[in-house]
Chain A
Amino acid sequence: MSRLFHDDAVDEIKRETIHWQRDVYQSDKELEQVFETLSGLPVEPLYTPSDTAHMDYLGDLGFPGQAPYTRGVHSTMYRGRRWTLRQLAGFGPAEETNKRYKFLLKEGATGINGVFDYPTLRGYDTTDPYARADAGRGGVAIDTIDDMRVLFDGIPIDRVSSSLVTCHPICNISVQSMYFANALMRGIPLEKLTGTSQNDFLMETAVTVAPELLPPKCSFKLSCDAIEYCTKYVPRWNPISFAGYNYRESGCNAFQELAFVMANAIACSDELVKRGIEVDRFAPRLSFFLSAHNDFFEEIAKYRAARRIWFRIMKERFGAKNPRSLTFRFHVQTAGVALTAQQPLNNVSRAAYHALSAVLGGAQSVHIDGYDEALCTPTELSSLTALRTNQILQLETRVTNTTDPLGGSYFIEALTNRVEEETSALLDEIDQMGGIVSAVETGWIHKEISNSAYEYQLAIESGKMPVVGVNCYQMEDEELPIELFQVPETLAIQEKKLKKIRAERNRSKVQEALDAVARCCDQDGNLMDVLVDYVTTHVTEGEVSQALKRAYGTWNPPLF
């Protein structure tokens, strides 16, 4: 046992705390005033050893790089290796995004973080009637393997790691296959590739829904197909990044964010085990994506709690032994919902605080939002400013000097424990519902998110939650001090490319590809196995999606 404090000392501190409170707070009213975290946990006026008295140092905190990993997943943390500077980028046709990738790499970004446009993320071709008005918006447009070739042209993907924000499994199954097939065509073996894909079925069915969704079970299956494929053939690739960030953006509080990623990861792990793959083969490559929101300390507590919860899940529930299976590794993006369209330059300071919380919480990689993101896709200047903010944090502030610098803070430890309790309670609730897939099918998840989003907005409306420039310190007749990004012409370019490809490709080969997809669905095979081979026929993403929808049907989410 390595208890933090002796019982006698704790009792005395408790007594003295009461005396101190009586001296400081003149009236009960003053003492009873409620302070809360952003997610609604009560916060005491002061934390002392009595708040962490029951904790056991080795059991609950331990050393960095050792169980239960509360203090960090690596033994030397940022002294040994700094976090990856992974700035999100993507817009317009592949040619334009390729230029932005090269610009960011030249300026010191250490990984690619590629986002795809709305139609691509939802499995549609640019030329689909639904898609046309959104071509190139929010990300880069990918229709065929040829776009993928252009997107990574001249980028050493055998050395640079790529994060592909292929949110929806229906997108990931094609786009990820195109990335792999393109690597093979460049002579790079799959074992050499490093990177991450998002591939999260909750994104497709609950968080960023599209028209004509796949049923939750089928979307979930596709996501597990990609995990299985990568476990077998692309061992250094993280085949899923549970997108807590996006859950939070759509309305979740901190506990829902954690509980939903964990419940999702549990479901995937159950499925992979069911497919006969040992937990220690796939779990080391499960990765997580979290938000850095406004409540500085709650966020730090969230990251620390996440590591401890994951360790316990993997060890107790799945019997994992490989230390990499037991460690919760995560990328952080600063909260887009916290940005304001009003006085947009204020967002530079907001995002810097957000990023600081991620780093004090031990993140493996960090994206800082551009100051203009409440108004448009980031310009080159706002992307560069965000990258520089990340570099200033890394090189000037010296927060990297020691590991888990807030560990042992009475407040942080108490808050970490509370976040863990709240998250575990939600996880139990989801378990009782039969797991995350059922929780989506019944609309429970949608209701949870929508309730939290509404409460958040009401807190802003009532003034309970101050937002500078929005409900306080507004400026009349504000002139916008920034240039807005214009999405480059995409639709006409993609239309032309697709027309040419459709004319030149071998039609019977494409039909063969679509038949193979249909057959694979019928036989419940692994679709990535099929697609990595067949995307080389220049079958389009939209054609594959249509084949999947023919086989699986579609589903309307119970949103309202």
Chain B
Amino acid sequence: MKRNIRVVMARLGMDAHWRGSIVVARAMRDAGMEVIYVGNQLPQNIVETALQEDADLIGLSSLSGNHMILATDVVRILREEEMDGTTVILGGTIPPDDVPKLKSAGIAEVFGPGTPLKKIIDFIESSI
């Protein structure tokens, strides 16, 4: 039997906005995924949790503008830990100019404000 997709959801650094991350987490759960919601965390802790939980995917949320520093740190630490099988996606208020930079750093996909939940779920299901 195929196991359910396991997701670690985190908000980056000090970012205060939890609405987006919770709404997306609930949509993931409704789509049959197992979601471990860890709240505000620094990159090192996010990667450690993903390792412990054997996560297929890390979902990051940031609306504060810290994504260029912290989201890229998450993928860098993942690479150092040789956890190349873990996909990382990011959602929040991300200026369009940052998207190509984030993708080339190793973020699989970036979802800005107004993204339909279905698009996020479809992306996860097709890439895991």
Residues of A within 8 A of B (CB): 118-119, 121-122, 124, 129-134, 137-138, 208-211, 249-251, 337, 340-342, 374-377, 450, 453-454, 457-458, 460-461, 467, 469-471, 480, 484, 487, 556-557, 559-560
Contacts and interface: CB of A to CB of B under 8 A. Distances in A.
Contact of A461 (B13, B66, B118): B118
A457 B114 contact: no
B66 A450 contact: no
Interface stretch (B32-40, B47-55, B76-84): B32-40
Contacts of B22: 450, 453-454, 559-560
Contacts, number: 108
Given A134-B66, A559-B39, A470 B114 contact: yes
Given A130-B13, A137-B65, A454-B27, 16 more contacts: A118-B13, A119-B14, A130-B42, A134-B65, A138-B65, A208-B18, A211-B39, A337-B19, A374-B93, A375-B113, A450-B23, A454-B26, A460-B116, A461-B117, A471-B116, A487-B65
B19 A249 contact: yes
B12 interface: yes
A376 B65 contact: yes
A242 B118 CA distance: 35
Interface string B63-77: 011100110000000
Contact of A340 (B12, B17, B66, B114): B114
Given A137-B65, A250-B19, A450-B26, A484 B97 contact: yes
Given A121-B16, A208-B16, A559-B37, A454 B23 contact: yes
Nearest to B39: A559
A560 B37 contact: yes
B69 A133 contact: yes
A480 B93 CA distance: 14
Contacts of B70: 133
Contacts of B27: 454, 457
A340 B18 CA distance: 18
Nearest to A167: B16
B61 to A, nearest CB: 12
A484 B113 CA distance: 15
A558 B109 CA distance: 28
Interface of B: 12-19, 22-23, 25-27, 35, 37, 39-42, 64-66, 69-70, 93, 95-97, 112-114, 116-118
Contacts of A374: 93, 113
A453 B24 CA distance: 10
Q: Which of A130, A134, A209, A458 has the most CB of B within 10 A?
A: A134
Contacts of B18: 208-209, 250, 559
A130 B14 contact: yes
Q: Which of A121, A457, A467, A471 has the most CB of B within 10 A?
A: A457
Would you list the 9 A-B pairs with minimal beta carbon distance, nearest first? Answer: A208-B16, A118-B14, A560-B37, A133-B66, A134-B14, A470-B114, A133-B69, A341-B113, A211-B40
B14 A122 contact: yes
30 contacts: A122-B16, A124-B14, A129-B42, A130-B14, A130-B40, A132-B69, A137-B64, A209-B16, A209-B18, A210-B40, A249-B19, A250-B17, A250-B18, A251-B19, A340-B113, A374-B113, A453-B22, A454-B23, A454-B26, A454-B27, A457-B27, A460-B116, A467-B114, A480-B96, A484-B95, A484-B97, A487-B65, A559-B22, A559-B37, A560-B22
Contacts of A470: 114
A559 B35 CA distance: 13
Contacts of A480: 96
A460 B31 CA distance: 18
B85 to A, nearest CB: 25
Contacts of B114: 340-342, 467, 469-470
B72 to A, nearest CB: 10
A148 B124 CA distance: 46
A137 B93 CA distance: 13
A450 B65 CA distance: 23
B119 to A, nearest CB: 10
B66 A137 contact: yes
Given A133-B69, A137-B64, A457 B13 contact: no
Contacts of A377: 65
Contacts of B93: 341, 374-376
A454 to B, nearest CB: 5
A260 to B, nearest CB: 15
Nearest to B12: A133
A98 B97 CA distance: 29
Contacts of B14: 118-119, 122, 124, 130-131, 133-134, 210-211
A483 B69 CA distance: 21
A453 B117 contact: no
A341 B25 CA distance: 22
Contacts of B112: 341
A121 B15 CA distance: 11
A386 B12 CA distance: 30
Given A457-B117, A461-B118, A470-B114, A134 B13 contact: yes
Contact of B64 (A118, A250, A471): A118
B69 to A, nearest CB: 4
Contacts of A484: 95, 97
Contacts of B65: 134, 137-138, 376-377, 487
A137 B66 CA distance: 8
Contacts of B96: 480
B39 A209 contact: yes
Contacts of B95: 375-376, 484
Nearest to B113: A341
B127 to A, nearest CB: 21
B112 to A, nearest CB: 5
A376 B26 CA distance: 26
A134 B23 contact: no
A135 B64 CA distance: 10
A134 B13 CA distance: 7
A130 B66 CA distance: 11
A375 B41 CA distance: 23
